[in-house]
A = this chain, B = another copy of it.
C-alpha cells in the first residue's frame, strides 16, 4: 500500500496551509497550463485519481461534466472535500490507488494531479486507468518532474559563478525517495521520463502533449522569489489518449 501521508496530522496541517489548499486551482501555478491540456468537459464523465480536497472535481462539475468521481486514500481530505461540495454530480470514494479498479469504459477523462509519484505499481494503475476510459478518452496528469525527484539530497547548490543550481544525481536509479517536505519521511517514487512513457505506452496509451512545467517569466515577474524555480522544471504534465 502507498504511504498515506495525507492523513498524518503534521503533514495534513502543513498541506492545508499551502496556497493550493487555501485558494484551490487558482493557488496552483501550473493550473493554467494543465487546464489548457484538458478536453472539453461539458457532458463528460470524469474520474479524478487522488482528488484531495476536490477542487478539480468541483471545477469539472462547474464546466458541465455529467458525472465526476473523486478517489483519494485520505479520509481527512475527503471529509473536507465532501463538506465543500454541493454539486450532486460529484461523488467521492475512499480507495487506495494501488489497488483501486474503476469501472470499465466508463469515463471520458481520467485526471490526476501530483499523485502518481507516490504509486508503487504505476503499471497496474495505468492499465486500470486505460481500461476505465471509453475509446477516444483522455488521461491528463501531473507528477513531480524526474529532475526534482532524482537527487538523494534535494537541496540547491551553487555553481562556480554562484548561480542557483539544482543537483541531479541518481537519475537512472529509480525507486523510493524520502523527503522531509511538510513532515518527516515522505516517501515518493522517482521514475525517469522514459519510464513514464514506457508505462503509458505499455498500458496502451498514445502519449500526446508533454509539458516540463516551471513558472512562466510573467509568473516570476509577479512573484520575484520564484526566479530560481525556472532553473529546472518542477512538474511534468502529460496528456495521453486511448485510441
Contacts and interface: CB of A to CB of B under 8 A. Distances in A.
Interface residues of A, number: 39
Given A152-B163, A193-B210, 8 more contacts: A152-B161, A153-B163, A165-B169, A167-B168, A168-B231, A169-B231, A172-B230, A172-B231
B160 A164 contact: no
A159 interface: yes
B166 A159 contact: no
A204 interface: no
A206 B111 CA distance: 23
Nearest to A215: B172
A31 interface: no
A226 to B, nearest CB: 12
Interface string A149-164: 0111101010111011
Given A193-B193, A193-B212, A232-B171, A157 B165 contact: yes
Interface in A7-22: none
A163 B157 CA distance: 12
Contacts of A197: 209-210
B147 A153 contact: no
A89 interface: no
Q: Which one of A160, A172, A230 has the greatest number of beta carbons of chain B within 10 Å?
A: A172
Nearest to A231: B169
A194 to B, nearest CB: 4
A165 B164 contact: no
B157 A153 contact: no
Question: Looking at A157, A164, A167, which has the most chain B CB atoms within 10 Å of its CB?
Answer: A167
A121 interface: no
Contact of A171 (B155, B169, B231): B231
A101 B233 CA distance: 35
B157 A167 contact: yes
A82 to B, nearest CB: 36
Given A152-B161, A159-B151, A159-B152, A233 B169 contact: no
